[in-house]
Amino acid sequence: MRNRIFAVSAMALMVSACGPKQLALPGDPIGKAATCAVVSAAAARQKSPDVTGDLGFDDQTRILHYAMLAASDGGAFSAKRASEVVSRMGEVEADVTGGKWQALVNPCDQAYPQVKKTAGIELPKARFDAALGCYSLGDFLVKTVQTREPRAQETLSELMKMRRDLDGTVGSGLRARGASEYEKTLALKQKALGKMVKLGAPAETVKACTSRFA
């Protein structure tokens, strides 16, 4: 009987060991952002299990927002840092989705409150600052969000129109500030983008932008 009890206990331990493992947020900023982005993607797929194609604009930008926030830790947006987060996502995806990723939803919400902010988003008060911020955010999303989902395509079309409408305003404003060379204009755009990603969810921020400038 005693041997049978030991055998049953050993089997129970083996079964539990094969189940999803406990997860924790990494301490490094790149790993943390990548992990939360994967968790966000898993949650989006779980909410819409029938969706086999591209996720919508809100879901895609929510996932992307973690990389954008990590890329703006230093103030100005860093494309290199954002790419590092995206690369890390591919490295951690299997471990995260194969573990108890649901337990990381609240820690990610606490670590990145801007991702959950969908109301009370205020654009910069100065018209040029708002225009440059909206232009930079819209330009980034148009270039990075890849989807054939119809409503997302409509939103991207609105952002492309806003970008075209703001071309003259942004160009003349940058020249007035002594930024006529590519490096200087890029630096100002990255600084503006770094501020915009911290206002709240990108999907809601661009609604404020198109409402004001489209």
Q: Which of 143, 135, 213, 144 is nearest to 174 (CA)?
A: 135
| % of the chain exceeding 90 in pLDDT | 80
pLDDT tier at 49 (50, 70, 90 boundaries)? low
CB 85 within 8 A of CB 33: yes
Query: Residues 138-192: pLDDT tens digits?
Result: 999 999 998 888 999 999 999 999 999 999 999 999 999 999 899 999 999 999 9
pLDDT at residue 9 above 90?
A: no
Look up residue 210 and give its two tokens: 């198109």
pLDDT at 144: 95
Mean of pLDDT over the chain: 89
**Residue 126: exposure state from Cβ atoms within 10 A (0-12, 13-18, ≥19):** exposed
- Amino acid at site 198: K
Examine the pLDDT at 39 and tell me if it is beyond 70.
Answer: yes
CA distance 97 to 127: 43
Q: In whole angstroms, what is the distance from residue 143 CA to residue 100 CA?
A: 33
With bands split at pLDDT 50, 70 and 90, how would you rate the model's confidence at 19?
low
Encode burial over 68-87: b for 16+ CB neighbours within 10 A, e otherwise: bbbbbeeebbbeebbebbbe
Residue 40: pLDDT band by 50, 70, 90 thresholds?
A: very high
Per residue in 86-139, pLDDT (tens digit) is 999 999 999 999 999 999 999 999 999 999 999 999 999 999 999 999 999 999
pLDDT of residue 139: 97
Least confident of 13-27, 56-70, 84-98, 185-199: 13-27
- Report helix, strand or coil for 120: coil
Contact in structure between 128 and 169 (CB atoms under 8 Å): yes
For residue 132, CA distances in Å to 46, 74, 106, 108 come to: 36, 19, 33, 29
Quick one: pLDDT band at residue 10, thresholds 50, 70, 90? Answer: very low
Q: What is the pLDDT of residue 6?
A: 35
Structure confidence at residue 54 as a pLDDT band (50, 70, 90) = confident
- 73 or 51: which leads in pLDDT: 73
Minimal CA–CA distance to 144: which of 91, 73, 198, 85? Answer: 85
Least confident of 2-16, 58-72, 149-163: 2-16
What average pLDDT does this structure show over 40-67?
87
Q: Which pLDDT score, from 0 to 100, does residue 212 have?
A: 95
